């Protein structure tokens, strides 16, 4: 089915949806966004995503025109209008239309966009067999230059890291922070499993705190796995029993080879499989 696109109060199809070339989201990457999943026509953790969207906008000094309840109703209407059972929602709020200068005061009103479509990052066999990855030379942005808590349209560093992975022929990349600690994948959070304990970089390390990440931590603790949020280095990943990535688009996917090292058995491990099953159950019941 074709995507449903809502822009500032009007629904469009793919061919007719347009934004101005003077929109600062296009000119400067000046805006924020959220990716949200729909399972069985139910939107997964919409409240948490909207909370993060509005917090990101506030951090970026953008006043979202729609109050949060109205935004929620609009998203729900767009999903219903799409007719999709399972879907991916992209919510975008830009600074709006201005001039060719940087001054945000020249942008009279933010632009709000909602796209409802489908998404698949990898074919199913990658989920069945696991991903290969390498450590990218491109680091994440320094957390004091652009707060990672702001989910902004500035993803160029992550795209350049992804380019490194494409050039090397691997599925995904792992990005480090300025101190050389593991931060995240190109657009996902990561977990290592060692002796039944999950280890993941903490929010203060400069990562984006993912909604799926938080859900996986909750599920792991419900399943009586220990979860440690602490600095992680590449050695911790190389020697882990399992490694997996989490994200709205990716859901949960194992990494079975990193920088030429086989992780664990070289196949998705039992903890990854169990948490994937639990996550699917959580998502499909709409929690």
Contact yes or no for 171/158 (Cβ under 8 A): no
Average pLDDT over residues 234-240: 98
Q: Which of 86, 117, 148 is the last residue of a domain?
A: 117
Q: Which residues lie below 8 Å from residue 14, measured CB to CB, with a gap of 6+?
A: 2, 3, 5
pLDDT digits (tens, 9 = 90+) for 136-153: 999 998 777 788 889 999
Residue 266 has what pLDDT? 98
Provide, rounded to the nearest whole percent, the portion of the chain with pLDDT above 90: 92
Q: What is the CATH number of the domain that holds 100?
A: 3.30.470.10
Q: Which of 69, 96, 117 is the last residue of a domain?
A: 117
Catalytic residue among 109, 129, 151, 162: 151
Average pLDDT, the chain: 96
Quick one: CA dihedral 53, 58, 64, 67, positive or negative?
Answer: positive
Q: Between 191 and 1, whose confidence is greater?
A: 191
Residues 279 and 143 in one domain: yes
Residue 287 has what pLDDT? 60
Residue 171 has what pLDDT? 98
According to DSSP, the β-strands at 131-135 and 251-258 are parallel
Q: Which residues of 82-91 are buried (b: 16+ CB within 10 A; e: fewer)?
A: bebeebbbbb
Tokens 């109060």 locate to 9
Closest CA to 146 of 108, 177, 116: 177
Residues 23 and 109 in one domain: yes
Active site residue 68: no
Q: Which residues lie below 8 Å from residue 97, measured CB to CB, with a gap of 6+?
A: 20, 22, 23, 24, 107, 108, 109, 111
Residue 148 has what pLDDT? 84
Residues 184 and 229 in one domain: yes
Residues 214 and 165 in one domain: yes
Residues 261 and 147 in one domain: yes
Structural domain containing residue 244: 124-284
Q: Is the pLDDT of residue 286 over 70?
A: no
pLDDT digits (tens, 9 = 90+) for 206-229: 888 999 999 999 999 999 999 999
Q: Is the pLDDT of residue 1 over 80?
A: no
Q: Which residues of 189-215 are buried (b: 16+ CB within 10 A; e: fewer)?
A: bbbbbbeeebbbbebebbbbebbbbeb
Residue 204 has what pLDDT? 85
Q: What is the CATH number of the domain that holds 261?
A: 3.20.10.10
Residues 103 and 141 in one domain: no
pLDDT digits (tens, 9 = 90+) for 165-181: 999 999 999 999 989 99
Q: Is the pLDDT of residue 273 over 70?
A: yes
Residues 247 and 194 in one domain: yes
Return d(Cα 22, Cα 285) in angstroms, integer: 42
Average pLDDT over residues 41-67: 97
Q: Which of 70, 97, 117 is the last residue of a domain?
A: 117
pLDDT digits (tens, 9 = 90+) for 106-165: 999 999 999 999 999 999 999 999 999 999 999 998 777 788 889 999 999 999 999 999
Reduced to 3 states, what is the DSSP secondary structure of residue 194?
Answer: strand
The structural domain count of the chain equals 2
Average pLDDT over residues 53-76: 98
Residues 137 and 263 in one domain: yes
Residues 205 and 235 in one domain: yes
């Amino acid at each position: 089915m074709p995507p449903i696109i809502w822009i500032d109060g009007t629904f469009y199809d793919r061919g007719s949806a347009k934004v101005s070339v003077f929109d600062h989201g296009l000119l400067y990457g000046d805006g924020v966004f959220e990716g949200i999943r729909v399972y069985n026509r139910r939107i997964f953790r919409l409240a948490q995503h909207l909370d993060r969207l509005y917090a990101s906008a506030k951090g970026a000094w953008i006043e979202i025109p729609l109050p949060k309840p109205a935004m929620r109703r609009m998203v729900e209407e767009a999903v219903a209008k799409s007719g999709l059972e399972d879907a991916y929602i992209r919510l975008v709020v830009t600074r709006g239309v201005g001039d060719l200068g940087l001054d945000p005061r020249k942008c009279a009103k933010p632009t709000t966009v909602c796209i409802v479509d489908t998404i698949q990052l990898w074919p199913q066999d990658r989920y069945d067999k696991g991903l290969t990855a390498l450590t990218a030379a491109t680091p994440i942005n320094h957390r004091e230059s652009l707060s990672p808590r702001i989910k902004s349209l500035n993803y160029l560093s992550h795209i350049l890291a992804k380019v490194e992975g494409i050039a090397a022929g691997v599925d995904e990349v792992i990005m480090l922070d300025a101190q050389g600690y593991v931060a995240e994948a190109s657009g996902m959070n990561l977990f290592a499993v060692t002796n039944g304990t999950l280890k993941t970089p903490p929010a203060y390390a400069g990562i984006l705190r993912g909604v799926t990440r938080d859900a996986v931590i909750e599920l792991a603790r419900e399943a009586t796995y220990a979860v440690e949020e602490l600095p992680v280095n590449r050695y911790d990943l190389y020697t882990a029993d399992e490694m997996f990535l989490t994200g709205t688009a990716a859901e949960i996917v194992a990494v079975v080879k990193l920088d030429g090292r086989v992780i664990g058995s070289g196949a998705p491990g039992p903890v990854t499989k169990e948490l994937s099953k639990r996550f699917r159950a959580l998502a499909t019941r709409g929690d």
